[in-house]
Structure formats: structure tokens, C-alpha cells
Amino acid sequence: MDDWTFRAEQVTKVFGELRANDGITLQVRPGEVYGLLGPNGAGKTTLVKQVIGLLKPSSGSLTLGTYDLVEDPDAARQLCSYLPQAQMPIDSFKPHQVISLTGMIRGGDPVTVRQRSEEMIEALDIGEWRDTMGARLSGGIKRLVGFAMVTVWPGRVVILDEPTNDVDPRRRRLLWEQIRRLGDGGASVFLVTHNVLEAEKSVDRLAIINDGRLIAEGTPSSLKSEDRGRMRLQLMMVPGHATPEMPAFVHHHTRVGNNVMAAISEADSAHAIGWAQELMRLDEAEEYALAATTLEDVYIRMTGHVSEDMGGEVQA
Amino acid sequence: MTAPQAVEATPFTVNAGVGHWLQSYMMMTRWELTSLRMLLPLIVAIQIVIGGGFALGVGLLSDQMPTRAALYLSTGVTVVTLITVGLVMGPQLVANHKTAGTYDFMWSLPVPRTTQAVAWVTVNSVIALPGMVAALLIANWRYDLPLQVTLSIVPAVLLTIVTATMVGYAFAHAIRKPMITQLITTLVIFVILGFAPINFPPENLPDWLATVNLGLPFYHMAVVMRGGLTEGLVTNVGISYLVLGAYTVASVVVAAWVVGRRD
Ligand SMILES: Nc1ncnc2c1ncn2[C@@H]1O[C@H](COP(=O)(O)OP(=O)(O)O)[C@@H](O)[C@H]1O
Ligand SMILES: [Mg+2]
């Protein structure tokens, strides 16, 4: 078989009254790193759990080439590697052991798996903890070990649910390099995240989901096309203060908490700064910032949420 | 250092068949035993103390235990140790997985689900057998019993342990809240100890309760174990094998159904 395209068609998952996934259709081609973005509770984990057979869709289909992943969960588990959002059970293992053992469970031969396991330990720079019992590892290192476990012998589809959680910035970059490499090896990487800025740099295509629905899909630059030539004016309002009336040069704006994000044309930058300073003088705003638009702006506009990293940036 | 090669995505085909099953079974057994490596000596020691302690403790009830009663007791204790591991220890270990949130990963591994269940039986046996043997040896030493161990102890132990483990496994997997699992298994074990003729003959029970027990697996577990450990203490062992065998099949079917279920 040479078609290894992953397809989700009209996937709907209902929990009681809640439509956690609502008619989601998307495709991931071999070699592609596909990001799945959305705020907490959007339904990302629910979608990937159906791919690996931990949940069953209420309706719709999930296929990999000619394999029906819903009908044949045994095949789904062999064809897809899965790093869950939840903890990995590695407390009584040493990293190099558990990476090799999982690789062998995934069908790798012992010699190659051991060799690759050492390579991954080095590539992720976790050699210091190669022989440390899992129970004594920090959350970030555990996450990296988990990543190495599920990718040391990767399946056709590699599902990573929030792989960078708790990982320090330097090793995050190493992790992203390894994620790219999975694509180079021909796997379809299906990557769940709510870190929009990281995803923007590293994914080939992405989907934004909100309230169970896929609301946008494309390459990072195609999603940003509407904001081309625009800047983001970010106003931090005095807590509780009402959103000020928008001047005519603001294309659109979003408020999240005390933050107001306004999209403006580059040509209007000077006007925007003047307006922001006036708001500060009137004690309506505490601070402002003007920056190039990123995927984050698209994301905020579409979901009404700021991503986690952005939230940190705003408070700083 | 040269960067590692891009790792090629596999597989090209989906595995099935006996070879794949056996391979997966061995891997999962290795996984479970390694996971328990730190706890294993403690768990086994506790099982030995429970088994031995029970054998000695009940003996305190009377100064001069008649041989027949002692024989009932010490063979019954072996059944109790096997059942406690399957119905109490096993579910608690599964509940630990659930509490730790590590369940999703274990359930996503590319092995047949049945291999995970059978690996579980294997691990439970490793835990239970030392306690069972210890209970028997201690009782034998304390009461000087006319034990006659025959080969039929092997199927007796297997059926008992598989049934108890699979019922516990199905419980633990079917019930979402680990707390509830533990309450239920604790309740089950007390009911079994008090109201099933394991450590004493069924004649000691009121007729109706003895009749009820004919339809439950516990009495039959005790009968087949006694068949393998003594000469002439029990009769109609064949019927007990049939009833227990049916329970074993049913417990395996239910466990397979539970683990194959998707929400
Ligand atoms: N097993 C379940 N039963 C009921 N509701 C669930 C279950 N799993 C998830 N949900 C709900 O479905 C929604 C989507 O959850 P999830 O897929 O985990 O979101 P995300 O991964 O995008 O943060 C949430 O509202 C969550 O509470
Ligand atoms: Mg999630």
C-alpha cells in the first residue's frame, strides 16, 4: 500500500449533551507536521483519542490509507504512535530502558531500537538522566522521555498531545527538531498544542478548533494572509475598565481579560501610538505594545482566547 | 556528532497471528514485572504473611484442632490467598494506573488487548504463588497434616487464579472511580471469607446458603484445590471442575468484552 494519508471525515463525538467534536474533517499527508490548535476544552484530545481507539466516534470516519481506524482499533494502535497529554507510566523505569522497551513493543528489533534510543537521548540532551529512575525525573524530562518512547520506532501517524508541556525552552527547540525529523522519515505528525507561536514556526499546516468545530485550516502564512501589512496594538486596560471606543483606523479588536488587541494598518502606527498614549494619560490603560501580527492574532480573533504563552507575555 | 538519521515510519503491514501474540505477551509481562520491580518483594512478603498468618491465626480458635478441620483450614487458606491477589491486589494496581493517569498510554500500546490481560494473570500468579506455598507449608508444620499433593493441583491453581484475576480485572477496568473499585473488592473479599465454604465444609452453613454457594465459584475453587492437595477429603471433584471451568470461561469473556469496549 502506498497511500498513507490520514483522513478524518465529519468526526463527531458527543458526551451526553456536549458535542466535544462536531463534524471535523481534515487530512494529514505523509511527511507533514500538522498542528491542531485550540483553547482548553476545544476538543483536541477527544479527537486524537478517537484516532488511537481510546474513544469511539459518535459518527464520522477515521482512516489511514485503506485502513479503517474506527473499525480496526488493533490496526490503529500498530499504525499510530501516541504521546498522551496525561502522564507516562515510567516511575519504575530508567529512561534508556523504557525507551528501548517501548520501541520493541512497537515492533522494532532490539539492536536497532537500543541504538536509536541512545541517539534520541543525546539529541534531546537528556543523557544526564539516562539511568535515573523515572520517579525522580522532573515533569519536563519525563515529557521528553515520553516523546522518545513513542517515537523511537515511529508509526505511520505520530500523535503528540501537547508534547512541549513543562519542557524548558532550550530542549523545546531540540524537541521541535526531532518532530521535524519524524516528518522527514515519512510519518504524518499530528500535533496538538495551544502554543500558537511555536506552532507557527514549526508546522506545515494547521487547524484551529474551537468548541468542537474546525474553524480554520491552512498553512501558517495562508491563515495570516488577512492580516498581511497589519500590526497589533495591544492595550492593557486598567482592571475592570470598559473597552474604549475604537477609532476608525482599527480594523477589528478582541478583548481577553483586561487585554484589548486591535488590528491596525502599518501606515496607521503613529496614530495608534498617539491614541494609546492618550488612553494612558486618561488612566484607562496601564500599558501598550505595538508589534507585528503573528498567527496569535488570527487565533485570538477566531477563538476569543489568548494562548498560554501569550498570557505569560502580557503579564510580564 | 553527526545528526541521527531520520527514522523511517513503519509498519508496512499490520501484524496478527500467534507469533505476534506471544511476542506481545512476553513484552507486556516484562513491562508489568518491571513496573512492579520495587514493590514486588514487599507485595510477595505481605502475601506470605497473610497466608501464613491466616493459617496460624484461625488455629487459635481451638486448642486441639481436629485433623479434618485443620486440613480444611490449611487447604482453604491457599484458595484465600489466590482469591485475594486476583480480587483485591490486582484491582488496586489497576486503580493506581487510573489515579496516576497513565491508563491512556498503556491502552494505546500496539499489542492485542488480550496479551495485557494474560500478562496480568501472569504477574498475579507471581505474586500469589509464594504466599500460597508458604501458607501450605506453615499449616502443614503447625498441624502435621496428611497432605497428598498430586499433579491436578496445576489445573486447580490455574482455574482459580484465572477466574479471580479476570473478575477483578474486569471490575477494575469497568468502574471509572478507583475508590469505588477498592470498596467493592474489599466488600467482596469479606463476603467470601464469611459466607463461602472455603475454610470449612458446606455442612457448617445453613442449607439455603450452602445451596447458593453451589452456584457460586468459591466453593468449587476450594473443592478442586483440595482435590489436588489431599486424598479423599472431597468428592465429586469433576462437577466442581465443570462449574469452575464455566466461571473461568465466563470471566475471560467478560474481561475481554470490558477491555475491548470504547466509550
Ligand atoms: N470522557 C469524557 N466525558 C465527558 N466529557 C468529556 C470527556 N472527555 C472530554 N470531555 C469534555 O469534552 C470537551 C473537550 O475536551 P478535550 O478534548 O479534553 O479538550 P482539549 O484537549 O482541547 O483541551 C471538554 O469540555 C471536556 O470536559
Ligand atoms: Mg487536551
- pTM (two decimals): 0.87
Q: How far is A244 from chain B (nearest CA, A)?
A: 45
Predicted local confidence at residue A1, as pLDDT: 58
User: Cell numbers 502580557 correspond to what residue?
Assistant: A314
A18 part of contact set with chain B, CB < 8 Å: no
Helices assigned H by DSSP within chain B: 18-36, 40-59, 67-84, 90-100, 103-108, 113-143, 153-174, 178-195, 207-215, 217-229, 237-260
Mean pLDDT (chain B) is 86
What would the grid cell of residue B158 be? 490455574
Predicted local confidence at residue B1, as pLDDT: 44
In the chain, the amino acid numbered B90 is G
Q: Which residues of B touch A104 (CB under 8 A)?
A: 27
* Residue range(s) defining the domain that contains residue B254: 35-260
CA distance B22 to B112: 10
Predicted local confidence at residue A250, as pLDDT: 93
Q: Do A132 and A77 contact (CB within 8 A), yes or no?
A: no
Q: Which residues of A touch B31 (CB under 8 A)?
A: 101, 105
Helix (H) or strand (E) holding A81: strand A80-83
In the chain, the amino acid numbered A128 is E
Coil/strand/helix, residue B102: coil
Q: Computed over its alpha carbons, how large is the radius of gyration of chain A? A: 22
Ligand 1 center to A13 CA (angstroms): 10
Domains in chain A: ranges and CATH:
6-223 (3.40.50.300), 225-293 (3.30.70)
Considering chain B, what percentage of its residues have pLDDT values greater than 70? 95
Is B74 within a domain? yes
Predicted local confidence at residue B16, as pLDDT: 83
B200-241 pLDDT, tens digit per residue, is 888 889 999 999 999 999 999 999 999 999 888 888 899 999
**Most confident of the following: B7-16, B183-192, B200-209:** B200-209
Kindly write down the DSSP assignment for every residue of B185-252, as one continuous string: HHHHHHHHHHHSTTSS-GGGS-HHHHHHHHHSHHHHHHHHHHHHH-SSS---HHHHHHHHHHHHHHHH
Is B75 within a domain? yes
Tell whether the model's pLDDT for residue B54 goes beyond 80: no
Phi then psi for A92, rounded to 5 degrees? -105, 25
Is B102 within a domain? yes
Tell whether the model's pLDDT for residue B252 goes beyond 50: yes
Q: How far is B89 from chain A (nearest CA, A)?
A: 18
Q: Do A158 and B108 contact (CB within 8 A), yes or no?
A: no
Is B129 within a domain? yes
Q: How far is B135 from chain A (nearest CA, A)?
A: 30
Ligand 1, residue A16: give the atom nearest the CA: 4
Predicted local confidence at residue B5, as pLDDT: 58
Of the pLDDT bands very low, low, confident and very high (cuts 50, 70, 90), residue B67 is: confident
For Cα atoms A111, B106, A148, give the angle at the middle one, nearest 5 degrees: 45
Is B202 within a domain? yes
CA distances from A281 to A160, A275, A277, A288, B202 (A): 47, 10, 6, 12, 91
Ligand 1 center to A43 CA (angstroms): 6
Helix (H) or strand (E) holding A196: helix A196-202
Tell whether the model's pLDDT for residue B85 goes beyond 60: yes
> What is the best residue among A12, A14, A18 to mutate for testing ligand 1's pocket, by most ligand atoms within 8 Å of CB?
A18
Is B67 within a domain? yes
Phi then psi for A287, rounded to 5 degrees? -160, 160
CA distance A129 to A143: 13
Q: What are the beta bridge partners of residue A15?
A: A18
Question: What total number of domains does chain B contain?
Answer: 1
Q: Do A129 and A61 contact (CB within 8 A), yes or no?
A: no
Predicted local confidence at residue B135, as pLDDT: 84
Listed residue (A251, A65, A81, A61) closest to A161, CA to CA = A81
Predicted local confidence at residue A315, as pLDDT: 31
CA distance B128 to A292: 66
pLDDT tens-place values along chain A, 316 residues long: 578 999 999 999 999 999 999 999 999 999 999 999 999 999 999 999 999 999 999 999 999 999 999 999 999 999 999 999 988 999 989 999 999 999 999 999 999 999 999 999 999 999 999 999 999 999 999 999 999 999 999 999 999 999 998 999 999 999 999 999 999 999 999 999 878 888 888 899 999 999 999 999 999 989 888 778 889 999 999 998 899 999 999 988 888 888 898 999 999 999 999 999 999 999 999 999 998 888 888 888 888 777 655 443 333 2
Is B223 within a domain? yes
